[in-house]
Amino acid sequence: MLPAGPLMKEHRLIERMIGVMDFELKKIKKENRADLLFIDEIIDFIKTYADRCHHGKEEDILFKALAKKNISTEHSRIMDELIQEHKMGRSNVKKLSQAKLEYESANTSALRDIISNMETLINFYPKHIEKEDKHFFIPCMDYFTGVEKDTMLRQMREFDAEMIHEKYTAIVSEHEKT
């Protein structure tokens, strides 16, 4: 398996969540109210799975390995775009989280911000995923030897194994502060 394989598999789950978000967004618009538990699930999914787990492997493993290679100008440009898109996604999730908090505290006008931020994420991810899947991941695998690819796959498995511990250690640490 190529290191692009696990990343592309993760894309399929992210696409499924985007479909669920799109369905929920239609309900929000129709009912003129947001399901706060679902918004929490969106925020957790994107922050933990799409960003920390998925984008984390891209940035901390694949992109770092590519930075040591003499990659084409085109691939370098795409990688820079992807990094900027990841930052934009993080910013948008923060805005969604803030809008959810405002809505939760009876600021009904924050519903517009929830809708807007959900629309941004729903529109962002399919294009971002297509860029990675069709124009970046597979062609970039040619820069690596078989040993380097195997090393990246091992690093990705280790990254995933550490994720659950990282998340729940942070939760316990936060509670210990209070």
In a domain, residue 121? The reply is yes
178 domain-assigned:
no
Lowest mean pLDDT among 31-40, 54-63, 168-177: 168-177
Q: Is residue 17 part of a domain?
A: yes
Average pLDDT over residues 29-34: 96
Per-residue pLDDT averaged across 122-146, rounded?
97
Q: What is the mean pLDDT of residues 145-161?
A: 96
- The number of CA neighbours under 13 Å toward the Cβ of 138 is 7
The answer as to whether 54 is a domain residue is: yes
Residue range 127-139: average pLDDT?
Answer: 96
Residue environment code for 105-116, b if the CB has 16+ CB neighbours within 10 A, otherwise e: eeeeebbebbbe
Count of domains forming the chain: 1
**Residue 23: pLDDT over 90:** yes
Q: What confidence tier does 2 reach under pLDDT thresholds 50, 70, 90?
A: very high
Per residue in 69-112, pLDDT (tens digit) is 999 999 999 999 999 999 999 999 999 999 999 999 998 899 99
Distances from the Cα of 131 to the Cαs of 10, 135, 156, in angstroms? 15, 5, 21
CATH of the domain at 24: 1.20.120.520
- Residue 138 in domain: yes
Does position 163 have pLDDT exceeding 90, yes or no? no
Residue-number span of the structural domain to which 19 is assigned: 4-173
Residue 70 lies in a domain: yes
Q: pLDDT value at position 168?
A: 83
Calculate mean pLDDT across residues 22-35.
97
